[in-house]
Amino acid sequence: MANDMSNEIAATAEVPDKRHGLTRGYGGPLRYIQGPCVLDDIGSYAADLSTTALVLMDGFVEDTYGERITGALETAGVSVTALRFGGESTDAEVDRCTEAARAAGAGLVIGVGGGKTLDTGKLTARNAGARIMTVPTIASTDSPTSAIGVIYTEEGVYVRVEQSPRNPDVVLVDSEVILKAPVRFLAAGMGDALSTWYEARSNFDSQSKNYVAGGYAPSVAGAQIARACHETLMRDGLAAYDAARAGCLTQAVENIIEANTLLSGLGFENCGVSAAHGVHDALTVLEPTHDFMHGEKVAFGIVCLLVLENRPPEDLEEAVRFCHDIGLPITLADLGLSAVSDADLLKVGEAAMDPASVIHSVPVPLTARKVADAIRAADMIAKRITGR
């Protein structure tokens, strides 16, 4: 497989690019630390970056871990300004947090919580000229490692992606904290991570640029990480899901936390995403999908991607059965869309065809109708595979 991978990347790297020519790019966080109880070490990592920190936490995190976090920071000599996240990563929320960071003279912004909290923290640090630390409390997305932040409306509708000039300085992942969260979050993270290799492959085939500093040809390293993410999910995903349901921190759980957070994050940023995320973004125009997590919608988007690209039946079988076994949505009914009309699916298709959508990284011509038809077909294929 390594030789095949090298050939794929070499072919991609030969595509002329007006800005970068044949230049490859690779990006990632400066430090990634994962393990039980590493949250208690937050002060030592923060103190190496700044003596003043804005700590952005969602409400549950602040109530549950706030004193533990601020205490560890202050013990390490870091002055703390705590700020409660507003709940949605909107332009207004980023502006509010940026003002707070500037007012506090924060040299470091620490985002603690889920993906939207971390995205807001990253963009706040960018705007305030501060260093950035991400501390995920769930392993549901690959946001913690990337330089990218997603902006939504107050209602949760996708707006756009914004990029920071740097990845987080430190990503601190306490696996015991992750394990305490409902297992649905870990499963959603596997849905997001499962898209990494499938979407990387789309970008190789379409010869698209990655997301490092505006776009370079992908590196062999990035491609191998994306592939390793997939292999880890296939090997340890079900065992980790079962162990997490039992509240047990096993090696499989640690491996999946890393796959969901680090491998997936490096894979998507260094290779790119495509229709699984493009369908996810477009589905947000339908209100019922707002009750579902990012990785849950991406899981269904994977099936749609494989249909759009007409991938082999074994790829569809693998993706559908894996998602089904860990409770991820694979049909329209699973997303609260059992009665969705063809007209509404066409609206999704039209949203997906926005010129800025990542869906255009797929190596086949697309129209709004093709996207809508792929969504309907994906639903039927998943039903057949699972015998519904």
pLDDT (tens digit, 0 to 9) for every residue of the chain, 388 residues total? 434 443 443 344 344 444 545 789 999 999 999 999 999 999 999 999 999 999 999 999 999 999 999 999 999 999 999 999 999 999 999 999 999 999 999 999 999 999 999 999 999 999 999 999 999 999 998 889 999 899 999 988 889 889 899 999 999 999 999 999 999 999 999 999 999 999 999 999 999 999 998 899 999 999 999 999 999 999 999 999 999 999 999 999 999 999 999 999 999 999 999 999 999 999 999 999 999 999 999 999 999 999 999 999 999 999 999 999 999 999 999 999 999 999 999 999 999 999 999 999 999 999 999 999 999 999 999 999 999 8
Comparing 31-180 with 184-386, is the CATH topology the same?
no
CA–CA distance, 288 with 272 (Å, rounded to integer): 28
How far is residue 388's CA from residue 238's CA, in Å, rounded to a whole number?
A: 21
Beta carbons within 10 angstroms of residue 288's beta carbon: 14
Considering the domain delimited by 184-386, tell me its CATH architecture.
Answer: Up-down Bundle (1.20)
User: Is the distance from CB of 145 to CB of 261 less than 8 angstroms?
Assistant: yes
Integer Cα distance of 263 and 225 in angstroms: 6
Q: Which of 152, 167, 182 is nearest to 283 (CA)?
A: 152
**Is residue 20 annotated as involved in ligand binding?**
no
Question: Which residues have a catalytic role annotated?
Answer: 192, 277, 280, 294
Q: How many CB atoms lie within 10 A of CB 261?
A: 28
- Topology of domain 31-180 in CATH is Rossmann fold (3.40.50)
Alpha carbon distance 321, 264 (integer Å): 20
The region that residue 374 occupies, defined by phi over 0 for left and psi between -120 and 50 for alpha, beta otherwise, is alpha
User: Coil, helix or strand for 25?
Assistant: coil
Residue 362, amino acid? V
Q: What is the DSSP letter of 263?
A: I
| CA–CA dist 223, 75 (Å, integer) | 41
Question: Is 151 one of the annotated binding-site residues?
Answer: no
- Domain spans of the chain, in order of start: 31-180, 184-386
Short-list 270, 276, 23, 55, CA closest to 147:
270
The answer to the question of whether 30 is labelled as a binding residue is no
